[in-house]
Amino acid sequence: MVERRRLLDFLPHLILIIGVAIVAFPVYVAFIASTWDAATISNGSMPLRPGPHFAENYYRTIFVGTSSSTREPVGTMMLNSLIMALTIAIGKIAISLISAFAVVYFRFPFRMTAFWIIFVTLMLPVEVRIFPTYKIVADLNMLDTFAGLTIPLIASATATLLFRQFFMTVPDELVEASKIDGAGPMKFFVDTLVPLSITSIAAMFVIQFIYGWNQYLWPLLITTKDNMQTIVIAIKKMIVTQDALTEWQLAMATAILAMLPPVLVVVVMQKLFVKGLVETEK
Amino acid sequence: MEKRVVFNGKLLPYLLLAPQLLITLVFFYWPAGQAVLQSFLVQDAFGLSTEFVWFENYQVLFSKPEYYKSMLTTAIFSSLVAFFSLSIALLLAVQADRHIKFASGYKTLLIWPYAVAPAVAGVLWLFMFQPSLGIVSQSMRVAGFEWNPLLRQDHAMMLVVMAATWKQISYNFLFFLAGLQAIPKSVIEAAAIDGARPARRFWTIIFPLLSPTTFFLLVVNIVYVFFDTFGIIDAATQGGPAKGTETMVYKVYSDGRSGGDLGGSAAQSVVLMVIVIALTAIQFRYVERKVQY
C-alpha cells in the first residue's frame, strides 16, 4: 500500500465480494434447485433458500437414477468418471516420466526426432481430429471400453515437457554419485529421480485429474452403453431441450455431484494446483 | 541445454520411449494423417470408390456461406469471451494485489470454477436463463425484457459467452495476480512520490508492465474458446438457434455426425489444425513467458 485512503481500503473488498458472489451465484442456484421438488421449479416459483427435498433428490440421483432420460444411477457414472480420470492422470504421468527420462539421460540415434514427435502433439487437440481418431478406436474394437476412453487421451506432450524441464535442473552430481555406487539407470530413476520429482508429479496429477474428469466430447462419442457413461455427459442427456419433461432438481443434483470432486481437489490442493497450472503453461 | 553426465544403454531408451511414441503415433499422427489425406479425396455416395481431387474439398468449403458464418461466430464468440474474462479478471486481480486482508481467501473463492467441466458450466447458466423457469430470465421479464435464447441468436450467444467467461476468469485471475506481484513495488512507490494518482499509476506503469502476461493470456484464451468451449455450447444451445452459436469446432462435430461429406469434414479439421499450429507458434515465438511466482 503506497498511500492510505479510506475509500481505497474499502473499495477492493467491495469489488472482490461482488466478484466472488457473481462467481458463486450459478452454483448456489443449482444447489437450491437440487433441494426442491420438480413442481416448484417448473412453475417458476422456486425461492432462493434451500428446500425440503435435499435427501430425497440426492438419494434418487445417486442410487436410483432419473426416470426419463438416463436409466443408470449417477453413482455408477461417478465411478466411471473416477476410473477414467485416475487412469488418464496416472497413465499420463507414468509414460511421460519414462519418456522424459529417456530423452534427458541417454544419448541415442533419433533422440531429438523422438522428442519432436512428442512435442508436435501439443498442437493437436482431440477436437480437431475427432472423427478419424474415433474411427481408429472403433477399428480396434475399443468402443465402450475404459481402454478406448482413456488411452487416446493419455499421450500428451505437456507432462513430458514438464518432466524434461524438471530433470534438467537436477544436479549432475547425483547421477555421478549413483554411478559410483554402482547403480544402473533404472535404479537411479526409481531411487533418486522419482522421489525428487514428487512435487511436480503431484502438481501434474491435480491438473490431469481435472482434465480427465471433465472430458466431454470424447466420452460422448466413445460410450454408447448406459453403464459406461460418465457423469459429465449424463447431465446433458438429462436436459430435454424445450421440454417440460426435464427433471431439473435431479439434473442440478447431478451437476453438483459432477463438480464436487474436481472442485474439492482444487480447493484442498490449491498450492499444487497453482504450481501445476503455471508449469504446464511454460 | 544438455546433460553432461548420461547413462549408457542401447535398447533401454527406446523401451522407455516406446509407450508414449506408440500411443502418439496410433492416436495422433495416424488420425491427423487420415484427416489430411481424406481432405483431398471425394467418396461416391455408396462409399465404393474414392477419387483424388486435390483442393476441391477446400474450394467447396470456402465457397459455402455457412462456413464463413461459423468463422464469424467463432470470431465474435472468442473476442467477447477474451475481452470480458480478461478485463474482469484484471479488475479482480488488481484489487486482490492491494495487500488487503483475506487476499488468499479471495483467491480460493475465485479460482475454483476452473475445475468445473465446460458442459456443467453450460447447464448451470442454461438453468438460470431458461426462458420459462430460469431465475434470472424471470426477473428480466418482470423488468420488461423478453429473453429467449431458444429463439433469439443474440440471446443464445450472450448465454454461451457468459458461461465461457465465468469459467475462464479464474485462470486469468491467477496469472494476472502473479504478474502483478512480480512488478517491483519500488517503481510504483517512485511514481506515487512523483504525484501520480492510483488510476494514472495503473495505466502508465502497471498495465504496460503486465503486457507480456496479457498477451500470453490472450492467446491462451483464444485457444480455450476455440477448443474447450465445445461442452458449453453443446449443453447450452447445441449450436442453435439456427446455427447462431455454431463455432468452427462445433461445425466439424455436427457435420461429421450427420455423416455424408467425409472429405468436407476432413478439410474443416485440417483448417482447424492450421489455426492451432499458428496460434501455438505465436505463443512460442512472441510470448515472453516469464511469469514469476
Cα–Cα distance, A83 to A240 (Å, whole number): 28
Indicate yes or no: CB of B24 within 8 angstroms of CB of A121: yes
B58 has pLDDT over 90: no
CA neighbor of A248 nearest in space, from A74, A46, A64? A46
pTM (2 d.p.): 0.89
Mean pLDDT of B54-76: 87
Q: State the ipTM, two decimals.
A: 0.87
B167 burial class (0-12, 13-18, 19+ CB within 10 angstroms)? buried
Mean pLDDT of B55-79: 88
Nearest beta carbon to residue B92 from set A15, A95, A220 = A15
Return the pLDDT at A241.
57
Report residue B207 as a C-alpha cell.
498495465
B159-215 confidence digits (pLDDT tens): 999 999 999 999 999 999 888 888 888 888 888 888 888 888 888 888 888 888 888
Q: How confident is the model at residue B44 (pLDDT cuts 50, 70, 90)?
A: low
DSSP structural state of residue A124: -
Q: Which residue of B has its CA nearest to A10?
A: B100
Asked if A97 is an interface residue toward chain B (Cβ–Cβ < 8 A), one would say no
Cβ within 8 Å of B, A 25-44: 25-27, 29-30, 33, 41-44
B16, B289, B292: best to mutate for the A interface, most A CBs within 10 A: B16
Neighbours of A43 (CB within 10 A): 10
Return the pLDDT at A6.
64
Indicate yes or no: CB of B14 within 8 angstroms of CB of A108: yes
Report residue A68 as a C-alpha cell.
426419463
CA neighbor of A90 nearest in space, from A137, A161, A153, A144? A153
Query: Smallest CA–CA separation between B188 and chain A, in Å?
Result: 8
* Residue B50 phi, psi (nearest 5): -125, 150
Which positions of chain A have pLDDT values less than 70?
A: 1-8, 66-71, 240-245, 281-282
- How many CB pairs (< 8 A) connect A and B? 287
Return the pLDDT at A4.
62
Contact residues for B290 (Cβ-Cβ < 8 A; gap 6+): B212
Asked if A267 is an interface residue toward chain B (Cβ–Cβ < 8 A), one would say yes
Using a pLDDT cut of 90, give the percent of chain B over it: 23
Return the pLDDT at A121.
80
* Residue A269 phi, psi (nearest 5): -110, 50
Whether residue A24 contacts residue B111, with contact meaning beta carbons closer than 8 Å, is answered with: no
B288 has pLDDT over 80: no
The residue that leads in pLDDT, A123 or B31, is B31
Phi-psi sector, B136: left (phi>0), alpha (psi -120 to 50), beta: alpha
Q: Which residue of A has its CA nearest to B165?
A: A23
Return the pLDDT at B290.
43
Q: Which residue of B has its CA nearest to A41?
A: B133
Question: Which chain A residues are closer than 8 Å to B95 by Cβ?
Answer: 11-13, 15-16, 19
User: Quick one: CA dihedral B205, B208, B211, B212, positive or negative?
Assistant: negative
Asked if A194 is an interface residue toward chain B (Cβ–Cβ < 8 A), one would say no
Say how many residues make up chain A.
282
Nearest beta carbon to residue B115 from set A16, A99, A259 = A259
Indicate yes or no: CB of A101 within 8 angstroms of CB of B16: yes
* Residue B19 phi, psi (nearest 5): -55, -50
For chain B, give every domain's residue range. 56-286
Q: How confident is the model at residue B260 (pLDDT cuts 50, 70, 90)?
A: low
Query: Smallest CA–CA separation between B65 and chain A, in Å?
Result: 21
Q: Which residue of B has its CA nearest to A233?
A: B119
Question: Which chain A residues are closer than 8 Å to B99 by Cβ?
Answer: 1
Cα–Cα distance, A108 to A113 (Å, whole number): 11
Indicate yes or no: CB of A242 within 8 angstroms of CB of B266: no
Return the pLDDT at B21.
92
A200-209, B1-10, B174-183, B244-253: which range is least confident on average? Answer: B1-10
CATH of B56-286 given 1.25.40.10, 1.10.3720.10, 3.10.350.10, 3.30.300.20: 1.10.3720.10
Report residue A249 as a C-alpha cell.
432438481
Alpha carbon of residue B86 to chain centroid: 12
Residue type, B13: P
A145-173 confidence digits (pLDDT tens): 888 889 988 877 888 888 988 898 889 88
Indicate yes or no: CB of B12 within 8 angstroms of CB of A185: yes
